[in-house]
Amino acid sequence: MKDSITRSELINLLASQFEGSELSKSDISLSVREIINHMSSTIANGDRIEIRGFGSFTLRQRNPRMGRNPKTGEPVPLGAKYAPHFKPGKDLKEQVKGKVGS
């Protein structure tokens, strides 16, 4: 099983699935780029994205904490920050259940 898929691999996969249709590879590339850019800006603005059956993307605030400098081992204060968070939907959880590692 492959660990990840790159954007160009996704575009090539979609292009092969829509081969013979009116969609060109450049149309598919533009669509993928626009979807990812829109999702990124929506999450960065603090809004939530929900894709039914797949999951939801939100921003979560991480509280300040003490970290360590890996070179010296000295404690370093880390401030609060926002980080993207993905929560899988019920359908995705069911589809993945028991598949990984088998």
User: Rounded to an integer, what distance in angstroms lies between the CA atom of residue 18 and that of residue 12?
Assistant: 10
Examine the pLDDT at 1 and tell me if it is beyond 70: no
| Whole-model pTM over 0.85 | no
- Report the top-level CATH class of 46-101: few secondary structures
Which residues face 73 on adjacent strands?
none
Query: Where in the chain are the domains?
Result: 1-45, 46-101
User: Per residue in 16-36, pLDDT tens?
Assistant: 998 888 889 999 999 999 999
Place of tokens 């993905």: 86
Per-residue model confidence as pLDDT tens digits over 71-88: 999 999 999 999 999 999
Is the pLDDT reported for residue 102 higher than 90?
no
